[in-house]
Amino acid sequence: MSRLGKTPLAWKNLTHDWRRLVVAIGGIAFAVLLMFTQVGFQNALFDSQAKLIDDLQGDIFLVSRAKFTLAAEKRFPISRLYQAQSCPGVQGAYPVYSELTTSVLRKIDRGLGNKGFPIRSIGFQLSDPVFRIPAVNKQLDRLRSPGTALIDRKSKRKKFVFARDNDAQLTQNTLELANKKLRLAGAFELGTDFAHDGNLVMSAENFARFFPHRMRFGDPLSVIDIGVVHLLPDADLYATRDILEQMLAEDVQVLTRQQFRKSEIDFWDESTPIGTIFLFGKIIGFIVGMVICYQVIYSDIADHMPEFATLKAMGYPASYFVRLIVVEALLLAIVGFSPGTAVSWLLYAWLAGQTGLLMTMTSDCLLFVLIATIVMCVASGLLALRKLLAADPASLF
């Protein structure tokens, strides 16, 4: 009796008809692909939106109280940064500038005419340690010349932003940014998101030249978008944050990196319909897989009704059939998960190259989809088993 409940019988039930097994594997793999796609796009949304935060080198960040997302152009006076520098435990506080509304990049080319594309421009003082991006830090000298900038290779507008060109080709392009001549001095990688098609990085001096109207009257660098605060090695992160909150006016938020990242992700997850859309996408993928798995296991049970009737007449308990079908469902989940994961990995790589989004198959992503696949198949198997458990052995012959 115990031998019949082991894996070989469940495996033989699945493999007795190889054509049906191939169709079943294809169906489960398709459901896995659907779930991976939804999870991948959702993670890409969150990770891409927070990528700039991840690439800033700081312990605490200052942003305007009105800034609900990085894409919102809400700024605060640089005087708040000077106040932060006097706080105990603070090693330095540095400004980061960002512009999107008037940051339009245009290639001076007959083939493209005068069409321009929006791109996020980021400015900073070249002497300030604000970036973790090695390619930016290695090319600081190139940004000292007037009218120069580095461009993000992952920008979406490939034919326009030259994401695949090498540095030598980049410098030969004739461009305009905000109706002023721009020379590309090199490239780096940051990545796009759902609000920004690409990125430029430049010195604060060049940033002021391209966007002098950030302040209607006065210095365009007198208002900043993000304040990057470095702490002394022995400073307590949360204690210093609390002191800064008490020191600074109420128009400024004081955030740790995790808080800053979480606030950005929460906005896109809770304040926009995107998070809900991806949630329903995962649910649909799960339901599709359940339907396919249910049909496969139900058909297998129907084909073996005489054998199951014999076992029930011999006195095999209901728990035996439950174990058998659960093992069969687990095998189906594992066998279908593998090809679905392989195809999803290739799709992630292709989409990352095409969109510039951070389509990464993380261990958390793999674990989530694997658990969802197992639950999907086991639940389908138990649903398909109901008719067998409720039937009288004599009526099954």
| Residue 158 scores a pLDDT above 80 | no
- Predicted confidence at residue 5, as pLDDT, reads 42
Q: What is the pLDDT of residues 93-133, one digit of tens each?
A: 999 999 998 999 887 764 445 677 889 999 999 999 999 99
Q: What is the mean pLDDT of residues 215-225?
A: 85
- CB contact at 8 A, 55 and 201: no
In terms of average pLDDT, the best of 23-37, 191-205, 238-252 is 238-252
366 C-beta neighbours (distance < 10 Å), count: 16
| Residue 4 scores a pLDDT above 50 | no
Alpha-helical segments (H) within 67-125: 79-85
pTM over 0.85: no
Q: What is the pLDDT of residues 343-382, one digit of tens each?
A: 999 998 888 877 767 788 888 889 999 999 999 889 988 8
- Predicted confidence at residue 331, as pLDDT, reads 86
| Residue 392 scores a pLDDT above 80 | no
More confident residue, 275 or 334: 334
Confidence of residue 244 (pLDDT cuts 50, 70, 90): very high
| Residue 166 scores a pLDDT above 80 | no
Phi-psi region of 269 (alpha: psi -120 to 50; beta: other; left: phi over 0): alpha
The sign of the torsion formed by the CA atoms of 124, 125, 130, 131 equals positive
- Predicted confidence at residue 49, as pLDDT, reads 84
Alpha-carbon dihedral angle through residues 151, 221, 54, 36, given to the nearest 10 degrees: -60
DSSP assigned state of 126: T
- Predicted confidence at residue 157, as pLDDT, reads 62
Confidence of residue 154 (pLDDT cuts 50, 70, 90): confident
**Least confident piece of the model among 8-12, 59-63, 118-122:** 8-12
Contacts of 192 (CB under 8 A, 6+ apart): 48, 152, 154, 155, 156, 198, 199, 355, 356, 357
